[in-house]
């Protein structure tokens, strides 16, 4: 168990190839005006929005917008905040807001240039849309550029609470603004889930509750974000509401095991609707059914989701403070399909696993609380670097005790030398296993994203908290695992000893059914 293979430098040399293989194909697909108009506006009025109408001819996932702007509106110093937005068109005027960027400052006396505005992942169907510039204070610094055919519509709109939805009555004007949206085609980045905005807003979302709609992925895809169409006009008395998005596997037509969860977000009250995109750790998902859940915290009643159509809704109560439950848990059905989904990069990619992927024959006794059991895995199995997508262990809840026991998996990187400790590299979210839980592979979402590398050996450690004696792991064979006391509540240790015997280190027999999953380019040896 203490032998070390020679240092493998091949993965380091292949890093550039790996990064190239996973770089998204961002072709220059745009709709809108891409040439520079000849006439600058006056300095833009604060708390005002104005836009131009353009036609999109194909399905798209918009990722950025660009507006041609300068800072020569008048003042010699200061800056003016600018956002861009996309609105639906009905009968030649802008109506429902689809998406809005974060604010970007335009500094006084700055040269004219195409200014980028990040939009997240915005699914659009073919059709006509308005691309809009929203201006805040200080008034009169930024200028846009327009000329040509009359194609302009605008109105006053307080910048601090984002663009209204619907757009509202406005006035027409001359010229077409130099503004466009950059997007990916379906073969570059697809979108699984509902691509349109539901017609019916919910009531203000209750705190400590999650509700999900099922989405179907038709091909393998690399996923990095989750998206939901939301507004904050639910009427609640709070100034904001917390929420996160979670992704679940389908289990017999209902959400089952949690795959990933986004960070916590706050949305300020009284803002118009828009697609909200949040990063998650990189996942490689196979074609199939999944569920996206909105998990809402306090203050209750601020956020609203949007849905209609076929009944595709499942929800339950779930305390927000300890994240979305895993598995989802029993719940109730409801009406409509929410506007939820995820953008993905189609293959070619492969999932690789390091560790034991077969089911061992011997269950342990119920796991001791505040204890970690670690097993070594050789680096020579890893030929490319790749992002970790999750951890798995074969477990049950039949250890004999009652209640719920918490477990997680931590991964440690060996330093390739005898007797030196392995350092913490990544860890999973905590998973709670109830008494009586049937034996099965349990998925542990990644808490701290990291990449695999083949330089040195890896140690996977199954760590158990309370209640003691509920969970059992499975192992067999002649190999050994090393065990040590470790307080569960303060997270994994920064290092684990790998040279035994050592004080406080126990030795167990058997290869545990536990592995880490990661992504590599398709065709990797």
Beta strand 304-308 with 200-201: parallel, antiparallel or unpaired?
Answer: antiparallel
**Residues 59, 124 contacting (CB under 8 angstroms):** yes
Picking from 124, 167, 129, 168, the residue whose alpha carbon sits closest to that of residue 151 is: 129
Cis omega (within 30 of 0) on the bond before 485? Answer: no
Domain positions in the chain: 10-16+349-521, 29-184, 195-346
CATH classification number, 195-346, choose in 2.60.120, 1.10.3470, 2.40.160, 1.10.3210: 2.60.120
CA proximity to 367, closest of 481, 496, 516: 481
**Contact indicator for 255, 315 with CB cutoff of 8 Å:** no
Rounded alpha-carbon distances, angstroms, from residue 322 to 227, 391, 489: 22, 20, 13
Residue 422 DSSP class: E
In a 3-state reduction of DSSP, which class is residue 16? helix
Cα(439)–Cα(433) distance, integer angstroms: 11
- Shortest CA distance to 442 belongs to which of 256, 283, 216? 256
CATH match of 29-184 with 2.60.120: yes
Please list, residue by residue across 479-507, b when 16 or more beta carbons sit within 10 angstroms of its beta carbon and e when fewer do.
Answer: ebbbbbebebeebbbeebbbeeeeeebee
- On the question of a common fold for 10-16+349-521 and 195-346, the answer reads yes
Question: Which residues on adjacent β-strands are paired with residue 63?
Answer: none
Overall fold of domain 10-16+349-521: Jelly Rolls (2.60.120)
Per-residue pLDDT of the chain (525 residues; tens, 9 = 90+): 222 222 232 333 333 333 333 333 334 699 999 999 999 999 999 999 999 999 999 999 999 999 999 999 999 999 999 999 999 999 999 999 999 999 999 999 999 999 999 999 999 999 999 999 999 989 999 999 999 999 999 999 999 999 999 999 999 999 999 999 999 999 999 999 999 999 999 999 999 999 999 999 999 999 989 999 999 999 999 999 999 999 999 999 999 999 999 989 999 999 999 999 998 888 889 999 999 999 999 999 999 999 999 999 999 999 999 889 989 999 999 999 999 999 998 977 888 889 999 999 999 999 999 999 999 987 665 556 788 988 999 999 999 999 999 999 999 998 776 667 889 999 998 999 999 998 988 889 888 888 887 778 899 999 999 999 999 999 999 999 999 999 999 999 999 987 766 666 888 999 999 999 988 877 776
């Amino acid at each position: 168990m203490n032998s070390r293979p020679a240092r493998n430098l091949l993965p380091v040399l292949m890093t550039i190839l790996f990064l190239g293989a996973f770089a998204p194909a961002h072709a220059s697909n745009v709709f809108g005006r891409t040439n520079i108009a000849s006439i600058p506006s006056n300095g833009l009025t604060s708390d005002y929005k104005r836009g131009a109408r353009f036609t999109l001819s194909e399905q798209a996932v918009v990722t950025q917008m660009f507006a041609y702007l300068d800072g020569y509106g008048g003042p010699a110093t200061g800056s003016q905040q600018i956002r861009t937005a996309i609105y639906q068109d009905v009968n030649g005027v802008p109506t429902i807001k689809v998406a809005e960027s974060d604010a970007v400052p335009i500094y006084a006396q700055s040269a004219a240039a195409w200014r980028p505005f990040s939009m997240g992942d915005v699914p659009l169907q073919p059709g006509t849309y308005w691309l809009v510039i929203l201006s805040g204070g200080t008034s009169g610094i930024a200028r846009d550029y327009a000329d040509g055919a009359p194609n302009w519509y605008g109105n006053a709109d307080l910048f601090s609470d984002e663009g209204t939805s619907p757009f509202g009555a406005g006035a027409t004007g001359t010229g077409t603004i130099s503004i466009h949206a950059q997007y990916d085609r379906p073969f570059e980045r697809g979108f699984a889930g509902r691509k349109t905005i539901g017609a019916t807003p919910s009531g203000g979302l209750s705190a400590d509750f999650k509700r999900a709609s099922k989405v179907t992925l038709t091909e393998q895809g690399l996923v990095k974000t989750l998206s939901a169409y939301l507004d904050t006009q639910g009427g609640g008395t709070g100034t904001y509401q917390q929420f996160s998005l979670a992704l679940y596997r389908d289990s017999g037509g209902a959400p089952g095991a949690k795959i990933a969860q986004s960070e916590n977000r706050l949305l300020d009250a009284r803002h118009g609707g828009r697609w909200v995109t949040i990063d998650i750790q990189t996942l490689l998902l196979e074609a199939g059914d999944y569920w996206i859940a909105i998990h809402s915290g306090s203050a209750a009643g601020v956020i609203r989701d949007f849905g209609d159509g076929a009944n595709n809704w499942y929800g339950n109560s779930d305390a927000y403070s300890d994240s979305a439950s895993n598995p989802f848990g029993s719940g109730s059905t409801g009406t409509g399909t929410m506007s939820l989904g995820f953008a993905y990069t189609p293959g070619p990619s492969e999932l690789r696993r390091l560790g034991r992927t077969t089911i061992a024959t011997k269950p342990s006794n119920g796991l001791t609380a505040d204890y970690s059991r670690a097993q070594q895995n050789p680096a020579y199995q890893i030929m490319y670097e790749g992002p970790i997508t999750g951890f798995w262990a074969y477990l049950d809840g039949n250890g004999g005790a009652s209640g719920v026991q918490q477990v997680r998996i931590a991964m440690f990187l060996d330093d390739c030398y005898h007797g030196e400790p392995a350092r913490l590299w990544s860890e999973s979210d905590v998973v709670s296993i109830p008494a009586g839980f049937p034996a099965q592979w349990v998925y542990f979402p990644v808490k701290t994203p990291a990449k695999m590398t083949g330089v040195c050996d890896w140690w996977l450690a199954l760590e158990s908290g309370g209640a003691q004696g509920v969970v059992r792991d499975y192992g067999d064979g002649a190999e050994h695992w090393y065990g040590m006391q470790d307080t569960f509540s303060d997270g994994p240790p920064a290092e684990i000893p790998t040279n035994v015997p050592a004080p406080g280190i126990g030795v167990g027999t058997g290869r545990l059914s536990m592995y880490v999953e990661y992504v590599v380019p398709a065709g990797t040896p």
